[in-house]
Amino acid sequence: MTSHRAKVGVVVIGYDDAAHVADAVRSALAQGDAVREVIAVDDCSTDGSAALLDALAAEEPRLTVIHRAVNSGGCGSPRNDGIDAATAPYVMFLDSDDVLPPGAVDALLGTAEAHGVPVAAGLCVRRELPSGREVPWERALYAGPAVLPNPSRRPRLAHDTLCVNKLYRTDFLREHAIRFPEGRYPYEDYVFSARVLAAAPRVALIPDTVYVWHVRRDAERLSISLDRGDISNWRARTEANRAAYEILLGAGEKRLARAVHAKFLDHDLRMYTRELELRTAAYRRDWWDHTRAYLSTFDAADLTLNPSAPGRLLARVLLASPAPRDLPRLRELAARPARLLPPYSRASDDTPVWSSDLPQVSLEHFLERPAHLLPLAVDAELHVGARATRLRLRLHELYGRVAQSGPASAHVVFTRREDGRVGLRGEARLLPDRYGDVWTGETPVELSELAPGTWDLRLTLRFGDGTDREVTAHALGGSGLLRRRVVLDVHHSVGRVLLLQPYRTHAGALALRAASGWRGMTEVLRRRLGRLLH
C-alpha cells in the first residue's frame, strides 16, 4: 500500500484573525504524518496574528509563516503565495476561521493516490456558530464515492465553487498555471474552481466530511459571503460568475459553462432575491438594473430549458420588467421549497401568466408539471385561544392542478434549527372551500412542549392520488415579527416561563423562537432591538 506520509501541504491564510487562526493551524497539524508542511500566510495583520503564528512556528518545525508586506485586500494573493512556497506533492487550502476535521487529509490523499487523480474532493459542512448547527454543502454531489474521467461527466461539479474541500496535486496546478485572481477579488474561488475544471482533470469524489466552514453571522467583520448589504458584493458575485462561465466556454466545456449559469439562477439569484425587501430603495433599483443587464447575456436555453424552475422564473420576471416589482411574491418564489403566492392570472387566451400586466411571462408549463412538484403556496397562522393554540393552514389552488391531485391532509412538524430535533408533530385534514380556491385545515399545537431554540415549520402535503409534497408555509400576521406569547416552560423548574416569538423568516416562512426564563426573554428582546437599530 502506498505510504501517505509527508505528502500534503496545507496553505492557511488569514488577516486580523488572531482569535481563530491558531485553531485553524492546529487542525491542519493534527492531521498527522500525511501533512509535510503547513504554510501560514499572514496578509499584513495588525492584531497580533503575525506574532502568534511566529510563536507557533518556533515550536512546530512543519509550520512555515509567510508575512506579506502589504495587505492584498482579498484571499487570492495569499493563496497564490502558498502555492508558490509549497514543496509537498499535494496542496489544499484552509481559511483562518475554519478547521479541518480529523482524518480529512488521510481521506483525500488516500483517494487521490489510490486512483491516480490530480484532484480529490469531499464534503464541506457549514457550521453555524454559536449554535453548532451543521448544513452540508452540495450534499448530493458527495453522496457516494466516484471517479470521473472528466468533470464534464458530472456538470454539478460547477455548482461546488469552493476551493477548500479539495486536494490538488501541486504540479497539476503549476503545469496548467492555475492560480487565484490577485488583489481584492471577492469570490475568487469561483474563478479558481473554473480554471481547475477547464483543465479537464480526472476527479475523485468521496462522501467523507473534509472541511468545516464556520459561519459567524454576529462577527464584527463579516466574511465576504455574508457581507451582502452593499451592491458591490452583488456586482462582485456576478462578475465572478461571468468569469467562470467564460473560462469554461473558452475551454470548450459547454456543459460545465451552462452549469455555471444554472447554479447562478438556482442559488445566487434566489439567495439575493430573498433579501431584497431588507434593502434600501436605491439598492433595489441598482440590483434590479445590474441583474437584468447580466441576465441579458445568458443564452435563451439557460432560461427556457426548465421553465418551471424557480430561479429561471425569477429571471424571466426580472427581464420582463424594467423596474423592481412584486418583491414579496418574488421572495416567496425564491424560498426553499419555492412558493408561488396568488394572484394566479391568465392571459386573454386563458394561458396562465405571471400577472395581467406581465402576460409575456407565461406559466403554461405548470399545466403539465405534476402537482407534487409545483411551487405550492400554503399560508400558516398561529391562533392562541383561552385553552389551546391551533395552527391554521390554507392551501391555494394553482390553475386547477391542486384539485386534480385531491389534497387530503397536511403533516405538521416543528424542527429545531440548531440540531434538527423534532419538537412537535400534528396532522391537519384539508377541506375545500365552497369555491374550490383554497383548502383549509387546522391542528392543535402544544407550544409549551418546545425547548429553547429556533423552530422551523415543515409541512408534508398528502394527496389522494398517493403523492406528497414537502413545503414550508407563508407566515400570516403582518410584516416582521408576529405577536409574542408567554407560556409555562414544562422543560424547566416550576415557576419559570417560556417566551415564544413567532416570526417571518427572510424567505417569508413561519418560524418560532423559544427562550426559557426571564434571562432568555431579555436576550430575545435585545436581539430584536439590535435588528431594529441596524
Distance CA 420, CA 432 (A): 32
**Are residue 383 and residue 362 in the same domain, yes or no?**
no
Q: CB–CB of 510/526 below 8 Å? A: no
CA 482 centroid distance within chain: 26
- Report yes or no on 479 lying in a domain: yes
Q: Is 67 exposed, middle or buried (0-12, 13-18, 19+ CB in 10 A)?
A: middle
**Are residue 391 and residue 263 in the same domain, yes or no?**
no
**Are residue 34 and residue 162 in the same domain, yes or no?**
yes
- Report yes or no on 237 lying in a domain: yes
pTM, entire model = 0.89
**Are residue 210 and residue 182 in the same domain, yes or no?**
yes
Strand partners, 13: 41, 95
- Positive or negative, the Cα torsion across 102, 104, 109, 112? positive
- Report yes or no on 373 lying in a domain: no
One-letter amino acid for residue 179 of the chain: R
Which of 368, 391, 412 marks a domain boundary?
Answer: 368
Specify the pLDDT at position 493.
Answer: 45
One-letter amino acid for residue 514 of the chain: A
Query: In Å, what is the CA distance from 34 to each residue of 40, 86, 89, 206, 385?
Result: 17, 14, 11, 18, 62
- Report yes or no on 263 lying in a domain: yes
Which of 345, 368, 391 marks a domain boundary?
Answer: 368
**Are residue 336 and residue 204 in the same domain, yes or no?**
no
498, three cell numbers: 417560556
**Are residue 129 and residue 52 in the same domain, yes or no?**
yes
**Are residue 338 and residue 385 in the same domain, yes or no?**
no
State the total domains in the chain: 3
Distance CA 80, CA 104 (A): 22
Specify the pLDDT at position 160.
Answer: 97
**Are residue 198 and residue 92 in the same domain, yes or no?**
yes
- CB neighbours (10 Å) of residue 2? 9
- Report yes or no on 280 lying in a domain: yes
- Report yes or no on 2 lying in a domain: no
Average pLDDT taken over every residue of the chain: 90
**Are residue 91 and residue 200 in the same domain, yes or no?**
yes
Distance CA 425, CA 411 (A): 7
**Are residue 191 and residue 48 in the same domain, yes or no?**
yes
CATH of residue 168: 3.90.550.10
**Are residue 201 and residue 250 in the same domain, yes or no?**
no
Which of 158, 192, 216 marks a domain boundary?
Answer: 216
Query: In Å, what is the CA distance from 283 to each residue of 267, 272, 316, 524, 529?
Result: 20, 12, 20, 29, 24
- Report yes or no on 188 lying in a domain: yes
Instruction: Please list the ranges in the chain whose pLDDT falls under 50.
Output: 1-4, 222, 478-481, 488-496, 520-521, 529-534
Domain residues for 43?
Answer: 8-216
Specify the pLDDT at position 395.
Answer: 97
**Are residue 27 and residue 166 in the same domain, yes or no?**
yes
- Report yes or no on 223 lying in a domain: no
Specify the pLDDT at position 226.
Answer: 58
Q: CB–CB of 453/447 below 8 Å? A: no
Distance CA 112, CA 106 (A): 10
Specify the pLDDT at position 499.
Answer: 81
